[in-house]
Amino acid sequence: MRKTAPAGADIGIELAGLELRNPFMLASGILGETGDLLLAAHRAGAGAVVTKSIGTEPRDGHKNPCIYQCESGMLNAMGLPNPGIEEFSKEMRVLKGSRAVVIGSIFGAKTQDFASLAKKMQDYGAAAVELNLSCPHAKGYGAEIGSNPATVKSITASVVHAVDIPVFAKLTPNTRDICSLGLAAEEAGASAVVAINTLRAMAIDPYIRKPVLANRYGGLSGPGIKPVGVRCVFELSEALSIPIIGVGGISTAVDAAEYIMAGASAVQIGTVVQQKGIEIFSKLSEELKEFMSREGFRSISQMRGVAHEG
Ligand code: RRO
């Protein structure tokens, strides 16, 4: 066990050719859809920012209530609200000229939608695209198509073919075998996988005797899902050669270290940003440096995957 503290751990990373000043990315859909808020997260210290998932046409999303705070985290059924890819160019323009590493999240129903959306994101200046193959509660999108390895493979391959920027596939944990989805993305040429999206879940109001969310089903995020995310990253790391971006329930630097030790090269944070604000980014970076120095790690790559050793 390495316990001698080297001076100043380096938390900068290289991910699929992108240089990030730290491994903490803003997860998709957090803070809404505006370029201003993504820019604010960058200025507050995020290593990269992921946009809300954007589709071909504007969409209002699901009816209210679409968010519910429960004991182990948060339930949401936003339902992919977004302004559509044409209108989204205005938000991306806000980020032009900043040094923010912007990852454009996209969703579609058909392979061709993903390819054309990815091209637009590339034109708008995105450093990478993230394919939403995992939203757990939208008919015809997300996990409904992303639970089938053959579909993951064909969508990923068409996007890889269409753009020159790295392609990240965001995978669903709502499956028996997440590794088969990760392998499909890797075989299709994805530069990385993102694991995990929210867990399909439900809450019932026992006094009203009905599901709390108007959509009935939603996605659970927050501390309660961290062990599921860590398990998925650990399994993927044994099966894949491409990098893994870990997400799910991270609220402290030690949580991030857990994901990195499971095999993640970077992490995304969401629910904690909603609860504690964007100041959390610089706090997590400082705390991760301190943790690594105390535990004798000089770099993220030195810490990555150590839980698989021995
Ligand atoms: O918009 C949403 O309801 C949503 C999306 Br796109 C997603 O990927 N995951 C999630 O929990 N909610």
What is the full per-residue pLDDT of the chain (310 aa) written as tens digits?
545 445 589 999 999 999 999 999 999 999 878 999 999 999 999 999 999 999 999 999 999 999 999 988 999 999 999 999 999 999 999 999 999 999 999 999 999 999 999 999 999 999 999 999 999 999 999 999 999 999 999 999 999 999 999 999 999 999 999 999 999 999 999 999 999 999 999 999 999 999 999 999 999 999 999 999 999 999 999 999 999 999 999 999 999 999 999 999 999 999 999 999 999 999 999 999 999 999 999 999 999 999 999 7
Asked if residue 80 has its Cβ within 6 Å of ligand 1, the reply is yes
Please, how many CA atoms are within 13 Å of residue 146, restricted to the half-sphere of its CB? 33
Q: Does residue 99 sit within a domain?
A: yes
135 among known catalytic residues: yes
Asked if residue 219 has its Cβ within 6 Å of ligand 1, the reply is yes
Structurally, the chain folds into a number of domains equal to 1
Q: CA-to-CA distance for 117 and 132, rounded, in angstroms?
A: 12
Q: Which atom of ligand 1 is nearest to the CA of 52?
A: 6
Q: Does residue 72 sit within a domain?
A: no
Nearest-CA residue for atom 10 of ligand 1: 135
Q: Which atom of ligand 1 is nearest to the CA of 78?
A: 3
State the greatest distance between any 2 C-alpha atoms of the chain, in Å, as a whole number.
Answer: 58
Asked if residue 156 has its Cβ within 6 Å of ligand 1, the reply is no
Give the distance (Å) from ligand 1 centre to CA of residue 251. 19
Asked if residue 53 has its Cβ within 6 Å of ligand 1, the reply is yes
Nearest-CA residue for atom 5 of ligand 1: 135
Q: Does residue 77 sit within a domain?
A: no
Q: CA-to-CA distance for 247 and 231, rounded, in angstroms?
A: 11
Give the distance (Å) from ligand 1 centre to CA of residue 299. 32
Q: CA-to-CA distance for 64 and 112, rounded, in angstroms?
A: 31
Going along 5-152, which residue ranges are E strands? Answer: 13-15, 18-20, 24-26, 48-50, 67-70, 73-76, 102-106, 128-132
Per the structure block, which two tokens stand in for 212?
Answer: 């709390």
Question: Candidates 76, 194, 200, 268: which one to mutate for ligand 1, based on the most atoms within 8 Å of Cβ?
Answer: 76
Asked if residue 184 has its Cβ within 6 Å of ligand 1, the reply is no
Give the distance (Å) from ligand 1 centre to CA of residue 291. 32
Q: What is the DSSP letter of 171?
A: P
Q: Which atom of ligand 1 is nearest to the CA of 134?
A: 8
Q: What is the DSSP letter of 181?
A: H
Sequence-ordered list of residues with C-beta below 8 angstroms from that of 288, at least 6 positions apart, any chain: 9, 11, 22, 23, 24, 253, 256, 257
Give the distance (Å) from ligand 1 centre to CA of residue 198. 8
Q: Does residue 154 sit within a domain?
A: yes
Q: Does residue 209 sit within a domain?
A: no
Residue type for position 220: L
Q: Does residue 68 sit within a domain?
A: no
Q: Which atom of ligand 1 is nearest to the CA of 77?
A: 3
Q: Does residue 213 sit within a domain?
A: no
Nearest-CA residue for atom 8 of ligand 1: 135
The domain that holds 178 is classified in CATH as 3.20.20.70
* pTM, entire model: 0.97
Q: Which residue segment(s) compose the domain that 164 sits in?
A: 13-58+83-200+220-308
Q: Does residue 69 sit within a domain?
A: no
Alpha helices in 124-177 (DSSP H): 143-146, 149-162
Question: Candidates 31, 52, 53, 172: which one to mutate for ligand 1, based on the most atoms within 8 Å of Cβ?
Answer: 53
pLDDT at 5: 43
CB 172 within 8 A of CB 193: no
